[in-house]
Structure 1
Amino acid sequence: MSLLDKVPGDLKLYIGGLFTLRRKDQLAEAGITHVLSVLRLPLEEKLFEGYKHMVVEVDDVEDENLLEHFPAATRFIDEGLASGGAVLVHCAMGKSRSATCVIAYLMQKYNISPSEALEQIRQSRPLCEPNEGFMKQLELYHEMQTPENVEDTPAYQRWVYQREVEMSRACGQAPEAEKIRFEDEHVTAKDDSGFDMRCRKCRRTLATSQFLIPHQAQRGPADSCTHYFLDPLSWMRPELEKGEVEGRLECPNLKCKANVGKYAWQGMRCNCGEWIVPAISLSKGRIDEAKKRAADPSAMGIRMPATAGPRGPGQNNL
């Protein structure tokens, strides 16, 4: 196994480990002009003399956020190749972090999946194997269609929120108030399908079915569940931002204040057997479903009777 391996294809793109940087003869032979370092170890500056250099400071652990660095890393690689140079991407072993960044670049350039990009790299460097967390981030990057700015993408924002919930859960705490993502504040288009969930006491709409968290019933039919599990919604803000690990949810109608559900950041087991994390729920016994209706019946392909609308010329309007 060479310390410096070229990614198969026409690109002057190479991948290697930390010791690759000491093989100046190999670097010169490959025409390396740009070096992308993907690691947090202190680096000797003299190793990078004569190269355009970029550092992505991350550890090779599954909960590390490498996804946020994909756009900058891929731009650096692209600029190096576009200038007519050759690019080396390295980490400590040339196995996980460096492979992840090269995969992200190949995905963006060729519109291929993470597994296809990894297979291509392994043709020259079989040991490449991003850790499980990085592979999941690559899958998300693929689902997001490799955007130039991941931080403005709703899917990324939701992923960051879920990570925050998991870290808080591990510490036995509620997530920080500013980290909670209230999903209805990020919806750009209203979903007119499905149904509303209304307070049974005052009839106020509390949620729509687009904010339901689906889960697999572990025992019995799915409709036997006694709770609706939801994304955090803005009317829940006063309660969810208290910093409590668990609590109850009251109808936001000040004249009602009925107890409509509960939440548990550490998770809650549904009566069907599935464990939901985080668990933000409305009790079906305190909620009514209201099917949505289309405002314009003709939009649903329904033919209206002749007497339903204004009469034409020569006709009497009764």
Structure 2
Amino acid sequence: MSSLDRVPGDHNIYIGGMFSLRRKDAFQKANITHVLSVLRMGLDRELFDPFHHMQIEVDDVEDENLLVHWPSTNKFIQEGLDGGGGVFVHCAMGKSRSAATVIAFLLQKHRIMPQEALDLLRQARPICEPNEGFMHQLQLFHEMNTPDDVESSPVYQRWMYMREVEMSRACGQAPDADKIRFEDEHTQSIDKARFEMKCRKCRRPLATSQFLEQHSKSTLEDKKIEKTGNPSLADCAHYFVDPLSWMRHELEQGKVEGRLECPKCRTNVGKYAWQGMQCSCGTWVVPGISLSRSRIDEVKARATAPGLGIRRPPGLQDSQTERNATIAVKLNL
């Protein structure tokens, strides 16, 4: 397709396919000064004279990491607009890669939802349809508040970790030790924990509710409330949790699956399988890192963070403000 479609709004942004580059008259009429190419292809540089040109070499496949490029593409688009000119964003057909990139700019500029931005874009170019992988990345970009540095975002880091797990699983291997993300080392505060899980034999705290994997359709709030007053996954035989630092010795051995022992009394408290495992509720969880409900006691979390038994980030000290926040959370249980 050779059409040059203007994105609705008060910004001078256009979207199209690569054949639109031949329409020099349309470019001149639209006062286009910047061209952003979002495709992996050798391009004739003469096509881009006298424009400012940027190329992002990506394929239109669902596992392509386009998210990491959006801070730089957003900056390029904004520079073109600030200069008083127009910006043309294209891929091969003006359908998926370019559409996702324009949507990423709209998310940052207008603080709207990905679907809202896509609906807006389709008013000008109905064929716009980012692939499912790009739409998921747009949702992540929105959740992390469209930062200028996505790589430092915990949301991005966790997404990359899950990609590593999936790649390892596809190869029938465990993730490399340096790729495993231990969530309690990346969480800035544990004050939101509503309950903790302790070894039934020695009472050593093993995890808190904030590290639970919500693996079923029902949320914790929708589940049966037991006598402790805490929501519980009553239909499941296991608690599925994130990798935690006390599991490091076992998880970094490179085994695809194995058992988890309480670090204090060495009782078998769970198991793991990087390729995933099926819960008793029928849900398949990847990766499967589980604590057995028959070996765990669920109790209300203590008011002060150190009592939760999860290692606090270095340098994070108690303060009166922190203690007050903890009490407030406890009262809302």
Q: Considering the TM-score relative to the shorter chain, is it more than 0.5?
A: yes
Residues 2 and 18 in structure 2, CA contact (< 8 A), matched pair in contact too: no
Partners of 2:91 and 2:267 in 1: CA distance: 56
Q: Per-residue deviation at 1:203?
A: 1.9
- Per the alignment, residue 276 of structure 2 pairs with 267
Corresponding position of 2:55: 55
Which residue of structure 2 lines up, in the alignment, with residue 238 of structure 1?
249
CA contact (8 A) 2:73 2:101 kept: yes
Listed one character per residue, the Cα deviations across residues 132-185 of structure 1 (whole Å, up to 9, x for unaligned) are 111111111112221111111111111111111122222222122222111000
- Contact in 2 for aligned 1:169/1:265 (Cα 8 Å): yes
CA distance in structure 2 between the partners assigned to 1:300 and 1:145 by the alignment: 26
Aligned to 2:14: 14
Q: Which residue matches 1:210?
A: 210
- Tell me the residue number matched to 2:180: 180
Structure 1 partner of 2:152: 152
Which one-letter code corresponds to 1:154 in the other structure? P
Displacement after TM superposition at 1:111 (Å): 1.1
* Secondary structure of the corresponding residue to residue 147 of structure 1: coil
Q: Is the 8 A contact 2:192 2:210 kept in 1?
A: no
| Aligned equivalents of 1:283, 1:170: Cα separation in 2 | 26
> In the alignment, residue 260 of structure 1 is paired with which amino acid?
V
Matches within 5 A, 1:1-318: 3-191=3-191, 193-216=193-216, 222-253=233-264, 256-294=265-303, 299=327
Amino acid aligned to 1:103: I
Distance change >3 Å, CA 127–CA 301, structure 1 → 2: closer
Deviation at 1:301, TM superposition (A): 11
CA distance in 2, matches of 1:282, 1:67: 34
2:60 and 2:131 in contact (8 A); partners too: yes
Three-state SS of the structure 1 residue aligned to 2:258 is strand
User: Given that residues 2 and 17 in structure 2 are in contact (C-alpha distance below 8 angstroms), is that contact kept between their aligned partners in structure 1?
Assistant: no
Q: What is the TM-score normalised by the length of structure 1? A: 0.88
> Partners of 1:106 and 1:285 in 2: how far apart?
50
Q: Which amino acid aligns with 2:77?
A: I
State how far apart, in whole Å, the 2-side matches of 1:276 and 1:107 are.
31
2:234 is paired with a residue of what secondary structure?
helix
Name the SS for the 2:36 alignment partner. Answer: strand
Provide the secondary structure at the position in 2 that maps to 1:249: strand
Q: Flag as ranges the 4+ runs of structure 1 deviating above 6 A.
A: none
Query: Is the 8 Å Cα contact of residues 17 and 91 (structure 2) preserved in structure 1?
Result: yes
Question: Partners in 1 of 2:9 and 2:192 — Cα distance?
Answer: 48
**C-alpha distance in 1 between matches for 2:17 and 2:291:** 52
Q: Cα distance 1:59–1:192, how it changes in 2: closer, same or farther (>3 A)?
A: closer
Q: In 2, distance between residues paired with 1:187 and 1:285?
A: 27
Counterpart in the other structure of 1:308: none
On the 8 A contact 2:191/2:329 being kept in 1, the answer is no
Q: Distance in 1 between matches of 2:139 and 2:329?
A: 39
SS in structure 2 at match of 1:288: strand
The change in CA–CA distance for 1:122 and 1:224 in structure 2 (over 3 A counts) is closer
Contact 1:192 1:294 in 2 (8 A): no
Contact map agreement 2:196 2:301 (CA 8 A) in 1:
yes
Aligned letter for 1:69?
A: H
8 A Cα contact 1:217 1:273, kept in partner: no
8 A Cα contact 1:230 1:281, kept in partner = yes
Per the alignment, do residues 136 and 300 of structure 1 end up closer, same or farther by CA in structure 2, a change over 3 Å counting? closer
SS of 1:197's equivalent in the other structure is: strand
5+ unaligned residues in a row in structure 2: which ranges?
225-232, 305-322
- Contact 1:226/1:284, CA 8 A, preserved across alignment: yes
**Unmatched segments (≥5 aa) in structure 1:** 303-318
- 1:311 aligned partner: none
**1 CA distance for matches of 2:197 and 2:287?**
20
